[in-house]
Amino acid sequence: MTKRTLIAIGAVSLCVCAAAAQPTVNQQWDGIWQGQLDGQPSVTLTLAEDTGELGGTLVLNVVLKQDGHAAHVAAMEPHVLVHPRLDGNLLTFGVRKPNGDLMTFTVALTPEGKARIHCTTCGADAPQVDMTRGH
């Protein structure tokens, strides 16, 4: 290989590495966020920008607490995020129920670096769950 070819290959490699090292626009959102209800894992939100846009999954755990018994996870429901939208510190997205209906969620970043998720179409008694991002 000629010196000129080696320099060209090195320059291209450097550009590729620099592009890969650039932080994502939504880096504050990327990661695995987890929340609990009654001491049990209730929600896992996984966010990434692998396709160039923010996307991910939501796992909702059905936490039951029966009279005289400790709370426990009775079921897990995995979902793919539908139409995620960011507006500053607020993420909005939908997930499809098995019957095709859309549930809408908001996730707000808190000043403490945590997030609070809420289903806005699940009724007045839908809990707001605080989440922390894993490292």
CATH number at residue 35: 2.40.128.210
Residue 105 lies in a domain: yes
User: If you search the block for the tokens 């997205």, which residue do you land on?
Assistant: 93
Residue 32 forms part of a structural domain: yes
- Altogether, the residues listed in the chain come to a count of 135
The answer to whether 73 and 63 have CB atoms below 8 angstroms apart is yes
pLDDT in tens, the chain (135 residues): 555 543 434 444 433 343 444 444 578 899 999 999 888 888 999 999 998 899 999 999 888 887 777 777 778 899 999 999 999 999 999 999 989 999 999 999 999 999 999 999 999 999 999 999 986
Q: Has residue 92 been placed in a domain?
A: yes
- 41-62 pLDDT, tens digit per residue, is 889 999 999 988 999 999 998 8
Boundaries of domain holding 45: 25-133
With respect to residue 99, please indicate whether it lies within any of the assigned structural domains. yes
Instruction: Note the pLDDT of residue 7.
Output: 45
What tokens does 126 get? 């839908």
Quick check: is 59 in a domain? yes
Tally of domains within the chain: 1
Q: What gap in Å lies between CA 118 and CA 96, rounded to an integer?
A: 15
Please give the pLDDT value at position 135: 62
C-beta atoms surrounding 50 within 10 Å: 10
Place of tokens 């209906």: 101
Q: Give the span between the Cα atoms of 82 and 89, in whole angstroms.
A: 18
Do 97 and 103 form a contact (C-beta atoms < 8 A)?
yes
